[in-house]
Structure 1
Amino acid sequence: MRSNSTLTVRQATCDDAGPLITVLVEAFLNGPVADWLVPDLDERRNVYFRYFTHVLHHGLEYGRVDTTSDRSAVAIWYTRDEVPLRAPADHHHEVEKATGRYAPRFLLLDAIFETHHPHAPHDYLAYLAVDPRHQSRGIGSALLTTAHHTLDATNRAAYLEASNTRNRDLYLRLGYRQGEPIHLPTQGPLIWRMWRGQPTDGTPAPFPTDLLPRRRPR
């Protein structure tokens, strides 16, 4: 555990699943990516509840999930030392089951993100969510700072995708570098790729240039 002011950051368990799924749904319910994934707002909450139920349990099983003492925020991390990352065999099926007729967009987003993933070993921040009622209080920064202390101790880099300029600017303040953005198809929104490597001469490490998927030997 790590404390930040009155906030304690700890690793989540299955007992935290219910509240953290709600945080993920509410935090991601509105925005350009949500509009692109599920244009029908009346359907979006139900789709997101099923989808983030899968996302949270996937993170608990295969990654690391951080939360706060009041469970007002959640961060889902994955260790990325293998490119491309091998998803569990049932991942696509679970996404399709959760998202129904919107599955092609969700799976396309997964594929686009994977295509643009850096090769250098790093920890991948797949999701960072703060309950909208608790935003703008430094909670997201506290979660990130705790993770960064762990990464710095082992000389690990971090990578994420930012879906709006407010989040992008937060990551820039926390030592990330911005890479070439992703333009989602069919008039989709802009996604900013962010990299936090070990500082060089007191400045943030440059964004890695090796981005294209490696070809596997035939």
Structure 2
Amino acid sequence: MTVRPLRSDEVEAAAALAARAFFDDPLFQFVYPDPSRRLAGFAGEHAAYVRYVYAPYGVCEMAEADGALAGLALWLPPGAEVPAWREWTALPALVRGAGLRRLPAVRRAYRAFDDAMPDGRFWYLGLLAVDPEAQGRGVGSALVRAGLARADAGEVGTFLETGTATNVAFYRRLGFEVTGEIPLPGGPTHWAMWRAPDSTPDSLRV
């Protein structure tokens, strides 16, 4: 398995993979309550985020296994300043998938994530997605560890949010700890998780 930068011609396939991975996620059941519109809505929204937010201002990495796309990780580095209009580029996809009536509720939920961001400098893991057919093969761990190596090299922490207890356990195995809860207005509560930088030499890590 190889972790490498996502190419521009792979964005659509990566967004579709992420949509499959998050189909049953509590947040995206809330954002896209109609299952028949969820895959297309999520994929359109996150393709826009990749192109206009994470690709120009962050790091987009994929895991390749047996010549196929197996996972995706989206990161923002410490101090990233993303202009507001960049995030607005996902609004058309949100409207198509969630419906115009739901847009205010969805935006309130997303703002709760913004309000929960910690102070200081840190790497932010905005998305980790593993193709359902590649689950259990270490894809997610490989993608996260690649990002943690950058954070450790820069001696800064790493922050993320997750909405499932299974994911909390997964991230704890990688050194994250729960720092609080993020109640989303009208939606599911998420956990905020933080990992301090690790100065242990690679040769001594288990």
Is the structural similarity TM-score above 0.5? Answer: yes
More moved, 119-128 vs 46-55:
46-55
Report what 1:104 is aligned to: 104
Aligned with residue 65 of structure 1, among 55, 60, 66: 60
Distance 2:17 2:31 in 1: 18
1:26 and 2:24 matched? no
The answer to whether the 8 Å contact 2:179/2:191 transfers is yes
TM-aligned CA deviation for residue 185 of structure 1: 1.9
Report what 2:143 is aligned to: 143
Distance 2:179 2:77 in 1: 20
- Structure 2 counterparts to residues 34-45 of structure 1, below 5 A: 34-45=28-39
Distance 2:12 2:116 in 1: 32
Superposed structure 1 runs of 4+ greater than 6 Å apart: none
Secondary structure of 2:72's partner?
A: strand
TM-aligned CA deviation for residue 199 of structure 1: 4.9
Distance 2:180 2:47 in 1: 31
Seen in structure 2, the aligned counterparts of structure 1 residues 148 and 90 have a Cα distance that, compared at 3 Å, is: closer
One-letter amino acid matched to 1:80: P
Secondary structure of 1:189's partner?
A: coil
Aligned with residue 87 of structure 1, among 83, 89, 104: 83
Seen in structure 2, the aligned counterparts of structure 1 residues 40 and 179 have a Cα distance that, compared at 3 Å, is: same
1:78 and 2:76 matched? yes
Percentage identity across aligned positions?
26
One-letter amino acid matched to 2:164: N
Secondary structure of 2:69's partner?
A: coil
TM-aligned CA deviation for residue 33 of structure 1: 1.0
TM-aligned CA deviation for residue 90 of structure 1: 4.4
Report what 1:204 is aligned to: none
Secondary structure of 1:118's partner?
A: coil
Seen in structure 2, the aligned counterparts of structure 1 residues 173 and 48 have a Cα distance that, compared at 3 Å, is: same
Aligned length: 191
- TM-score, with length taken from structure 1: 0.81
Distance 2:48 2:104 in 1: 16
Distance 1:114 1:52 in 2: 17
More moved, 16-25 vs 192-201:
192-201
- TM-score, with length taken from structure 2: 0.85
Distance 2:157 2:41 in 1: 33
The answer to whether the 8 Å contact 1:13/1:60 transfers is no
RMSD of Structure 2 on Structure 1 (CA): 1.9
Aligned with residue 48 of structure 2, among 32, 38, 54: 54
Distance 1:18 1:89 in 2: 21
The answer to whether the 8 Å contact 1:95/1:107 transfers is no
TM-aligned CA deviation for residue 200 of structure 1: 9.2
TM-aligned CA deviation for residue 159 of structure 1: 0.4
1:16 and 2:10 matched? yes
TM-aligned CA deviation for residue 96 of structure 1: 2.1
Secondary structure of 1:60's partner?
A: helix
Distance 1:157 1:56 in 2: 23
1:192 and 2:191 matched? yes
Query: Which ranges in structure 1 are unaligned for 5 or more consecutive residues?
Result: 1-6, 202-218
